[in-house]
Structure 1
Amino acid sequence: MSNPSILEGVLSDLAAESLQLDAWVAGLPATGWATVTTPEGWTVAHQIGHLHWTDLASHSAITEPEEFARGMELAAANPVGFVDEAAEEMALLPPEQLLASWREGRVALDVALRAVPDGEKIPWYGPPMSPASMATARVMETWAHSHDVGEALGLPIPQTSRARHVCHIGVRTRGFAHLVRGEDAPTADVRVELTGPDGDVWAWGPEDAPERVTGSGYDFALLATRRRHVEDVDVHAEGPGAAHWLTIVQAFAGMPGADPVRLADR
């Protein structure tokens, strides 16, 4: 089985993040599911539909790799609209059906991830991933879309250490964030030291790196999921390369989309 100790911890955080969002939407009337959550017009239903579709795709990548490969061909043929069209289709389902299906899909993916043999990689739209990496990516997406839903519904959004998974991906994808914008990947190291909600320090990179990023781990996660403008977070850079990175940091695959708008301009 795949690295049980690391995988178990990530799956536990994924379940907790999902249950939090589940509790927010479970009691919503149909009008609540129609609440717009993003500037692009995604509703609560789109958000849950997108998470459910991605869970299904992840499960297919593990259990039906040939079927998943056909889905990748469709994505390659429509790289901009593929994800949005899937969310749009899911959002048409009645809320109670979508919620029940999302719950079932979460359980099925958890089981499938635990069953992946040691050392085996799972195909994906980007590079193949280990089960722990795929589970971490699911935490990141669930965290980001939960934030969209909570903010749109006016709910208090708890700051938890689960944001560390988001930060980890944001740091690991530093080169990708440049490449996806047609820039050269940076060669200089950056030291990242972030403070989690519980006061612990999350650190990446050499201690003697020439440039640094410091500040709130929760706020860096908001930056990395492009939910906040760099001027609206408690995250600071030392050095021009680090400063530029904070304007383009991106924890998710695909194109970055529109830049976040400053809170003062919303």
Structure 2
Amino acid sequence: MNDAAPTVETIRADLIAEHDALDSIIADLEPEAWALATPSPRWSIADQIGHLTYFDWTAALAITDPDRFTALTGELMSTMSPDAAADAMDLATLGDYRAMSPDELLHAWRANRRVLSEASASLGDQDRVIWYGPSMGSKSFLTARLMEAWAHGQDIVDTLRQNKINAPERPDTDRIRHIAQLGFITHKWSYINRRLDAPSAPVYVALTSPSGATWDFGPDDAADTITGAAIDFCLVTTQRRHVDDTGLAVTGDVATAWMNIAQAFAGGATDGPAAGTL
């Protein structure tokens, strides 16, 4: 990667900018648009924002009051059951927000992301933050929040386009650098999360950023390679596009297998959209 290493402060600034970019898209939507189904199963546009609202709040809590966060997590997990985990999770995290009007939900999201912004200003580059799995380094923690805002925002953008609803465009920016790096470093996680053996062979990834710069990861003499637009790599690793629906050039069995199971986010193993879906 040819850019200077990110810091907590630069990632925080990019997170705030990503929130603002999504806000500009949804701020003036008609109430009925908030009820539209998105590519995420079971979720409307309102649910996408409700999800961000809940986890921006708990992220702030993890920074400012780890003990309370731990207690809240225990309460949340106690509502889960193997047979109804998805519905139970939705009820626990989205229930309050599903009762809100679009204006109330927009206000709640703005309030919670402001709380997160204020809490994250206290973080240093070497700090760690408790979370639902293992604790995370502060930079990885904020990168994950940025990835969530961008990925769930992509679901909203796709939904509005599919329904031919006019809304401000969300231009591609070099903020996705953080997401591209996260997509790369979660290569082995994508296998471990599926209880598969992660391959030992390296993959070289060379991406063209929205500004035209080149971002590269991994050894450049690796037999397996992935090249193309950074936006496409981010869409695949956040499971918003099937690799066949992008312009990525993927060479080698290891790289091909990875791009078909890539998952840059935590949680149980999930599959992205089938080819030709979006």
TM-score, length of structure 2 as denominator length: 0.87
State the one-letter code of the partner of 1:261: A
Corresponding residue SS for 1:115 = coil
Superposed, which structure 2 residues align to 1:19-98 within 5 Å?
Answer: 19-77=20-78, 78=80, 80-81=85-86, 83-85=89-91, 86-98=93-105
Show structure 2 runs of 5+ residues with no match: 1-5, 162-166
Runs of 4+ more than 3 Å apart: 74-77
Which residue matches 1:165?
A: 178
Alpha carbons of structure 1 residues 210 and 258: separation in structure 2 relative to 1, 3 Å: closer
CA shift, 1:131, in A, is: 2.2
User: How far apart, CA to CA, are the structure 1 residues paired with 2:178 and 2:126?
Assistant: 21
User: How far apart, CA to CA, are the structure 2 residues paired with 1:120 and 1:8?
Assistant: 13
Q: Deviations over 1:67-125 (max 9, x none)?
A: 21123324544284354331344232122121111111111111111213563310011
User: How far apart, CA to CA, are the structure 2 residues paired with 1:34 and 1:113?
Assistant: 31
Paired residues, number? 262
Q: Deviations over 1:7-57 (max 9, x none)?
A: 221112111111111111111222111111125131111011000111011
Which residue matches 1:103?
A: 110
Corresponding residue SS for 1:162 = helix
CA shift, 1:261, in A, is: 2.1
- Deviating more after overlay: 93-102 vs 140-149: 93-102
> Could you tell me whether the CA contact under 8 Å between 2:124 and 2:138 is conserved in 1?
no
> Could you tell me whether the CA contact under 8 Å between 1:114 and 1:131 is conserved in 2?
no
User: How far apart, CA to CA, are the structure 1 residues paired with 2:24 and 2:170?
Assistant: 12
User: How far apart, CA to CA, are the structure 2 residues paired with 1:105 and 1:29?
Assistant: 22
> Could you tell me whether the CA contact under 8 Å between 2:21 and 2:170 is conserved in 1?
no
State the one-letter code of the partner of 1:159: D
Q: 1:243 aligns with which of 247, 256, 269?
A: 256
1:222 counterpart = 2:259: no
State the one-letter code of the partner of 2:31: A
- Deviating more after overlay: 11-20 vs 74-83: 74-83
1:131 counterpart = 2:138: yes
Corresponding residue SS for 2:174 = coil
User: How far apart, CA to CA, are the structure 1 residues paired with 2:175 and 2:146?
Assistant: 8
- Deviating more after overlay: 237-246 vs 116-125: 116-125
Show structure 1 runs of 5+ residues with no match: none
User: How far apart, CA to CA, are the structure 2 residues paired with 1:115 and 1:157?
Assistant: 29
Identity of aligned residues (%): 36
Corresponding residue SS for 1:191 = strand
Alpha carbons of structure 1 residues 212 and 18: separation in structure 2 relative to 1, 3 Å: same
> Could you tell me whether the CA contact under 8 Å between 2:204 and 2:219 is conserved in 1?
yes
Alpha carbons of structure 1 residues 76 and 229: separation in structure 2 relative to 1, 3 Å: same
Q: Deviations over 1:115-138 (max 9, x none)?
A: 135633100112212222211111
Q: 1:191 aligns with which of 176, 197, 204?
A: 204
User: How far apart, CA to CA, are the structure 2 residues paired with 1:139 and 1:8?
Assistant: 13
Alpha carbons of structure 1 residues 158 and 117: separation in structure 2 relative to 1, 3 Å: closer
Corresponding residue SS for 1:237 = strand
